[in-house]
């Protein structure tokens, strides 16, 4: 189950697990497709004269982009459907769209063990708005406040058959209006966990971003 820990508790457990948050380690474990997507979204070319760059070079570029805090290049009319499709991509193929899944479960006994350390690793490496400084005081982030105030509801999970992934689905109540920007009662989001404890990807249309 997800556990939100204090900075000292997180630091102690991270050291015990041998987690060292260096920029090189944030990207070396990612596959080439993920690295290309990360760089492309920040306006960085991933090929030289039509020839694809080697993974080592992509990792180096990703490290520099993170150090420079390069923001994503996002168009105002960005298609959310396309964003969702990208988040559903894994090393073993594309996962089913959440709205097509029928047998969601409220039994979380089979959910992969998941801690703040795993969430930290994912956010630092993939979401530019989350910095080391911000995550040290994560309880001040809008996403955490929404969770603490009871806006995150109807949590459920689904283990994808014949794959190493698990969906964690949730709904977020709007903060100021009875309906969200798409005229629905809630914002629907998901987190995709791997059974090796890693966060594969996550999505939430709420302006608070990831609400965990």
Say which range, 11-20, 102-111, 138-147, has the weakest mean pLDDT: 11-20
For residues 127 and 202, the model is more confident at 202
Say which range, 56-60, 157-161, 167-171, 207-211, has the weakest mean pLDDT: 207-211
Q: Would you place residue 19 in the very low, low, confident or very high pLDDT band (cuts 50, 70, 90)?
A: very low
User: What is the pLDDT, as a whole number, of residue 67?
Assistant: 76
User: What is the pLDDT, as a whole number, of residue 202?
Assistant: 85
Q: Would you place residue 23 in the very low, low, confident or very high pLDDT band (cuts 50, 70, 90)?
A: low
57, pLDDT greater than 50: yes
Reduced to 3 DSSP states, what percent helix, strand and coil does the chain have, rounded to the nearest 5?
A: 35, 20, 45
Mean pLDDT of the chain: 76
Residue 126 in contact with residue 186, Cβ under 8 Å? Answer: no
- DSSP letter, residue 105: B
Q: Would you place residue 128 in the very low, low, confident or very high pLDDT band (cuts 50, 70, 90)?
A: low
User: What is the pLDDT, as a whole number, of residue 20?
Assistant: 39
- Distance, CA of 45 to CA of 135 (rounded, Å): 30
For residues 105 and 52, the model is more confident at 105
pLDDT in tens, 148-173: 888 888 999 999 888 888 998 998 88
For residues 20 and 47, the model is more confident at 47
Predicted model pTM: 0.57
User: What is the pLDDT, as a whole number, of residue 113?
Assistant: 81
């Amino acid at each position: 189950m997800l556990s939100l820990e204090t900075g000292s508790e997180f630091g102690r457990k991270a050291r015990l697990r041998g987690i060292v948050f260096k920029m090189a380690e944030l990207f070396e474990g990612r596959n080439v497709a993920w690295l290309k997507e990360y760089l492309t979204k920040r306006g960085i070319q991933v090929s030289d004269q039509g020839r694809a760059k080697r993974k080592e070079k992509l990792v180096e570029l990703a490290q520099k982009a993170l150090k420079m805090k390069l923001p994503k290049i996002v168009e105002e009319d960005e298609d959310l459907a396309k964003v969702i499709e990208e988040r559903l991509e894994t090393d073993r193929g594309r996962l089913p769209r959440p709205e097509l899944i029928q047998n969601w479960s409220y039994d979380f006994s089979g959910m992969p063990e998941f801690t703040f350390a795993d969430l930290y690793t994912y956010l630092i490496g993939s979401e530019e708005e989350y910095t080391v400084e911000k995550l040290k005081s994560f309880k001040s982030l809008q996403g955490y406040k929404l969770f603490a105030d009871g806006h995150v509801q109807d949590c459920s999970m689904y283990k994808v058959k014949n794959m190493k992934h698990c969906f964690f689905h949730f709904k977020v109540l709007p903060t100021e209006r009875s309906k969200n920007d798409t005229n629905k009662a809630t914002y629907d989001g998901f987190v995709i966990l791997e059974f090796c404890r890693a966060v594969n990807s996550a999505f939430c249309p709420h302006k608070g971003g990831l609400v965990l």
